[in-house]
Amino acid sequence: MTVSIIVSETVTGAEVADVLAGSSTGLDFGQVTNGAYSPITLQSANTGAQEIFVRHDAVTDPITNVKFYVAQYTGTYGGANSAAADIATLLALGAANSGADKNNADGLSRGLHIDMDWQVSTANQFLPTREATGQKRIFGKDAGGGIDGSSLALGFTMHADAASYWNGSSEVDATTPVTGSIGKSTDTVLGNRGHFKARFYLNSGAVDGGYLQFAQIFAYSFTS
């Protein structure tokens, strides 16, 4: 049996379906300005992030080896350059990231960042020092051993702190989460969701504008 996943913007929501430039659907991060990030609420307060939830329809076993990486956009392209140029740009931005502030106060953060602790406080979300714990990753930046989120082989594994359980009325922590695993709908131990936060940062000196499009891939193993 094939196991399918749903990637949504809310804990019980439908598959992401924002209409993107070029008319394909996906997830729109919105507009980002130099020296800031998107989605953004109030930069000085470090508020604003794209919530991403991943769940699946397996009825017997969990999914394991959950990873994510970025790839060339495959929808109808509506960006400013080309799909190949955009993915190269995104990875180059991440590789060049040198920001020391979670809210880009120094204007040096750039690229796509992901935070894998669903309960992280507003004050600490996207804190650069949390890269050392594996809770935060930047696509295009080597996290050790060449792992930079640029391919399946180099994908970032889901941190255990991303696992949560939706009990029908509220989201609670999985009791014993395991790195890279999301349980079936009734699994309180592993949790039945992966809950992530993402931001796209732009450095103060960036000069290129226009739409930038890429594919966000979620990979996993399952028992059929």
Q: What is the pLDDT of residue 208?
A: 83
| CA distance linking residue 180 with residue 177, whole number of Å | 9
Residue type at position 211:
Y
Q: What is the pLDDT of residue 72?
A: 98
- Judge whether 163 and 193 are in contact, CB under 8 Å: yes
Chain segment 149-199, per-residue pLDDT in tens? 999 999 999 999 999 999 999 999 999 999 999 999 999 999 999 999 999
Q: What is the pLDDT of residue 1?
A: 73
| pLDDT surpasses 80 at 224 | no
The residue assigned the tokens 């890279």 is 180
Domain regions of the chain by residue span: 5-221
> What residues contact residue 207 under an 8 Å CB cut-off, 6+ apart?
none
Chain segment 107-137, per-residue pLDDT in tens? 999 999 999 999 999 999 999 999 999 999 9
Chain segment 74-113, per-residue pLDDT in tens? 999 999 999 999 999 999 999 999 999 999 999 999 999 9
Nearest Cα to Cα of residue 71 among 170, 222, 185, 219 = 219
For the whole prediction, is pTM greater than 0.75?
Answer: yes
- Judge whether 202 and 97 are in contact, CB under 8 Å: no
